Amino acid sequence: MATETVLDVRQVVPRERHPLIMRTFEELSGGGAFVLVNDHDPKPLYYQFEVEKTGRFTWNYLEEGPEVWKVRIGRKG
């Protein structure tokens, strides 16, 4: 079984986070996923996915703060 990629963006400059996350998503094959680690609830990112990737992604919270949020973001096959 393959190890799931973890993308920890807590040390990434805020303006670079969304582009990095979107590139990581685009590199996934159908059915693939990665775990996003963030220092706040990435709800604005969810809304961006809703607009730009409608029906093509999955979003599951694994941890919901108060200091760390983890979300499994997947690409539908």
Here the CATH number for the domain that contains residue 27 is 3.30.110
Q: Would residue 63 count as lying in a domain?
A: yes
For residue 1, pLDDT over 80 is answered with no
Band (pLDDT 50/70/90 cuts) for residue 71 is very high
In whole angstroms, give the CA distance from residue 66 to residue 23.
Answer: 27
pLDDT of residue 77: 86
What is the number of domains present in the chain? 1
Q: Would residue 76 count as lying in a domain?
A: no
Distance of CA 52 to the CA centre of its chain: 14
pLDDT of residue 4: 85
Q: What is the pLDDT of residues 18-69, one digit of tens each?
A: 999 999 999 999 999 999 999 999 999 999 999 999 999 999 999 999 999 9
Q: What domain range includes position 50?
A: 5-71
Q: Would residue 20 count as lying in a domain?
A: yes
Q: Would residue 77 count as lying in a domain?
A: no
Q: Would residue 49 count as lying in a domain?
A: yes
In whole angstroms, give the CA distance from residue 52 to residue 33.
Answer: 17
pLDDT of residue 2: 58
